[in-house]
Amino acid sequence: MRLVFCISLIILVTSSGCGTPREPVNGSQLTAAQKHRIEDSVKHFVLDVAHDVSQEGPTAWRRHFADSPAFFMAVNGHLVFPNSQSATEGIQNFAHTVQHIDLHGEMTFA
């Protein structure tokens, strides 16, 4: 169960939008430079989250999630956290079972 939760949080962190809503963008409309900037931004975000969680523990995830009424988390089509408060509670509960995590990995873009 802990592994599933951890993986769910990692998926959320690497795929969630933490800012304001934006218009959808068709990838084929982007220039090579725009795609590179987006990929670079995502890589930096993932590395920042991995660093923070590895250094500070699971509770560091919280500051990387949007604290807004629009926040939710779904994994593989299933609603995991319906709102920001439930995400905070889930992270706190998870932190009681796992005090330290080392996140490592690579990101590749197709």
Kindly list the domain boundaries of the chain, sorted by start residue: 2-11+32-97
Q: Which residues, including other chains, have CB under 8 Å from residue 10's CB and lie 6 or more apart?
A: 103
Nearest in space to 73 (alpha carbons), one of 21, 1, 13: 13
What is the model's pLDDT at position 99? 77
Q: Which tens digits make up the pLDDT trace of 24-47?
A: 556 678 899 999 999 999 899 889
What is the model's pLDDT at position 4? 46
Q: Which tens digits make up the pLDDT trace of 81-104?
A: 999 999 999 999 999 998 788 887
What is the model's pLDDT at position 28? 72
Q: Which residues, including other chains, have CB under 8 Å from residue 50's CB and lie 6 or more apart?
A: 103, 104, 105
Segment 61-66 shows an average pLDDT of 90
Task: Classify strands 78-81 and 73-75 as parallel, antiparallel or unpaired.
Answer: antiparallel
- Render the burial of 39-52: b for 16+ CB within 10 Å, e for the rest: eeeeeeebeebbeb
